[in-house]
């Protein structure tokens, strides 16, 4: 948690915005996960979000769902994803955040996620995003996370009323994940016109870092969001770029090139 906070403080002093790529653990294969983490940081990533593959990821669109399916078909488990992070963690400066769902947390240990959080923290993961755990039901998860020093990063939607925005802003740790569009993840040709007003409203009620995800796919979109947000999260467009490669090495190189282009824009 402290590493995430320190990263945003450093970026604010430098008047820079965080670039946060998302990859799916185990895709294109498990051996690539650690290499991708190192490549993304070298290309300019400030934090990195790693997904735990799950068969029913309700917040994810078809591109991320397909990546999760490929990883699961290769037998990727949550434990293997955590170990892939652990293997390269000593060489990474960027904080790593894990995105998972409640079902894998409970399968790891029926203790409100504490076993998973303890294991992920031991592997050097500083935060967790669990999209299917709303604020009203996040108490047990937050208490388990507090015991391990893990940040629970909560999502806010464009449709969230002011009272809910304030409640989520108070509870979220590390940063606030602002969902730019209603619906699931996925690259989009244009961002909604109300995005900037939504960010402005959120800025009025919190001093915590606000990072925007869902739908950002081009350097121009990333640059526009960076003018209002503390960070830009890019997943589907990155996975799409990787998917055009014909080999593991090609996918890793494509990921580095894609993030380097976004880094210049943000």
Residue 77 binned pLDDT confidence (cut-offs 50, 70, 90) = very high
User: Residue 191 is inside which H or E element, if any?
Assistant: none
Which residue range is the domain that position 59 belongs to?
2-265
Please report, rounded to a whole number, the percentage of residues in the chain having pLDDT higher than 70: 95
Number of structural domains the chain divides into:
1
Average the pLDDT over 165-188 and give the result.
Answer: 80
DSSP conformation class of 53: P
Measured at the CA of 232, the angle between CA 16 and CA 177, to 5 degrees, comes to 115
The residue annotated as part of the active site, out of 46, 60, 126, 230, is: 60
**What are the structure tokens assigned to 223, written together?**
């640059």
60 has catalytic annotation: yes
What pLDDT is stored for residue 184 in this prediction? 47
49 has catalytic annotation: yes
User: Residue 266 is inside which H or E element, if any?
Assistant: none
User: If you average pLDDT over every residue of the chain, what do you get?
Assistant: 92
Question: Which has more pLDDT, 193 or 27?
Answer: 27
Least confident window among 16-25, 54-63, 184-193 = 184-193
- How far is Cα 143 from Cα 104, in angstroms, rounded to an integer? 18
Q: At what angle do helices 78-88 and 30-43 cross, to 10 degrees?
A: 40
**What are the structure tokens assigned to 33, written together?**
């996960």
Assign residue 67 the CATH number of its domain. Answer: 3.20.20.70
**What are the structure tokens assigned to 8, written together?**
């945003």
User: Residue 7 is inside which H or E element, if any?
Assistant: helix 2-13
Asked if 26 and 71 count as a contact pair (C-beta separation under 8 A), the reply is yes
What are φ and ψ of residue 234, in 5° steps?
-130, 120
Average the pLDDT over 104-117 and give the result.
Answer: 90
The residue annotated as part of the active site, out of 27, 49, 126, 230, is: 49
Position 186 pLDDT exceeds 50: no
What pLDDT is stored for residue 31 in this prediction? 92
Q: What is the CA radius of gyration of the chain?
A: 17
Q: In what order do the strands lie in the sheet with 231-234?
A: 151-153, 125-129, 96-99, 48-51, 18-24, 231-234, 210-213, 176-179, 155-156
Average the pLDDT over 231-247 and give the result.
Answer: 94
């Amino acid at each position: 948690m402290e590493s995430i906070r320190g990263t945003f403080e450093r970026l604010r002093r430098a008047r820079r915005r965080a670039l946060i790529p998302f990859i799916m653990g185990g895709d294109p294969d498990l051996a690539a996960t650690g290499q991708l983490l190192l490549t993304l940081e070298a290309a300019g990533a400030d934090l990195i979000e790693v997904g735990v593959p799950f068969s029913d990821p309700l917040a994810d669109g078809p591109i991320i769902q397909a990546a999760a399916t490929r990883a699961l078909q290769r037998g990727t488990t949550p434990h293997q994803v955590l170990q892939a992070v652990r293997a390269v963690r000593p060489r990474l400066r960027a904080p790593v955040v894990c995105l998972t769902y409640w079902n894998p947390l409970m399968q790891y240990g029926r203790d409100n996620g504490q076993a998973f959080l303890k294991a992920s923290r031991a592997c050097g993961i500083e935060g967790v995003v669990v999209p299917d755990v709303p604020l009203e039901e996040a108490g047990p998860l937050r208490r388990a996370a507090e015991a391990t020093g893990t940040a629970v990063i909560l999502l806010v939607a464009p449709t969230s009323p002011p009272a809910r925005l304030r409640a989520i802003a108070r509870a979220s740790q590390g940063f606030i994940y602002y969902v730019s569009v209603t619906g699931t993840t996925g690259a989009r040709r244009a961002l909604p016109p109300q995005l900037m007003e939504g960010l402005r409203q959120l800025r009025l009620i919190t001093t915590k870092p606000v990072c925007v995800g869902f739908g950002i796919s081009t350097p121009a979109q990333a640059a526009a969001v960076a003018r209002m947000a503390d960070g830009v999260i890019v997943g589907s467009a990155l996975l799409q770029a990787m998917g055009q490669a014909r080999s593991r090495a090609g996918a890793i190189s494509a990921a580095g090139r894609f993030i380097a282009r976004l880094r210049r824009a943000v």
